[in-house]
Amino acid sequence: MSSIDPSGTFTLGDRPVRRLGYGAMQLAGPGVFGPPRDPEAARTVLREAVAAGVNHIDTADFYGPHVTNQLIREALHPYADDLVIVTKVAARRGDDGSWLPALAPAELTRAVHDNLRNLGLERLEVVNFRSMHAVHGPAEGSIEEPVSVLAELQRQGLIRHVGLSNVTPGQIAEARRITDIVCVQNHYNLAHRDDDALIDALAQERIAYVPYFPLGGFTPLQSSKLSSVAGRLGVPPMQVALAWLLRRSSNILLIPGTASADHLRQNLAAAGLELSAADCDELNDIQGAGPA
């Protein structure tokens, strides 16, 4: 039995994955640019995650760029049969580490081939299109053309499933008219809950929701309220935040990232953390907590 089995499973595309996964972004160097200071430590974190039962890893070839995908391949290839690696496209890195759109058909096609090469795969299980209409949150605007490019690469057999990231409900509907969408990856946590209605709608459609920044955007007062609950339970605040997300909806798949084996173990322990009804009531109040 895996240590993260209590998190449960959800179907990602047509593959059952444990709901507590791992995000590889932090394995790259500072600012998600360049190599890590200790590549072997990064590979150790990946191996430990899989050994603990993680079978859903989130990555992108523009992390580094190329760094996290190469580390994943070095650490885990040949991959376990149940391992689902999800990547994303539509961005690139400038020479100064800046994040730039990469939305032209040739850029998207090149990105898919870069992911295939650096991961050592013949087909990508899931490719998320990352909307770049706004960098720090969803913004309306058509995504028909780039999603159509991914749908064509899907027909060619290079991609198995398509997902979306940083998108609005309208963009999700637009993309679903082009191809099946198996997951949506947006910013969501205890304090940032704009997607509450979207999560519930996607759950009805059996589409996975993958929140990022599980502690991003908290005010000092919100952080102190979370720390208060965590202190009472005797666990780190991040573990409580992850446990709350697991409880929030069965279609939520978590991808907490870390470059530390100790932090990895703390994050994965959220699978077994029991939150009482009183704990959840107190945590739900965090969303409305104003600035300190």
Phi, psi of 291 (to 5 degrees): -60, 150
117 vs 112: CA distance, rounded Å: 9
Helix (H) / strand (E) element for 149: namely helix 144-155
Q: Say how far residue 43 (Cα) sits from the centre of its chain.
A: 19
Residue 63 a catalytic site member: yes
- 202, 251 in Cβ contact below 8 A? yes
On the 0-12 / 13-18 / 19+ scale of CB atoms within 10 A, 258 is buried
15 vs 17: CA distance, rounded Å: 6
54 vs 65: CA distance, rounded Å: 24
Query: For residue 81, how many other CB atoms are within 10 A of its CB?
Result: 6
Strand segments (E) across the chain: 9-12, 15-18, 22-23, 56-58, 84-89, 91-93, 99-101, 124-130, 159-165, 181-187, 208-212
The CA angle 12-48-31, to the nearest 5 degrees, is 80
Check 63, 79, 209, 212 and give the catalytic one: 63
What letters, b where the CB count within 10 A reaches 16 and e where it falls short, cover 102-133?
A: bbeeebbbebbebbbebbebeebbbbbbbbbb
- Residue length of the chain: 292
* CA max distance for the chain: 54
Task: Kindly list the catalytic residues.
Answer: 63
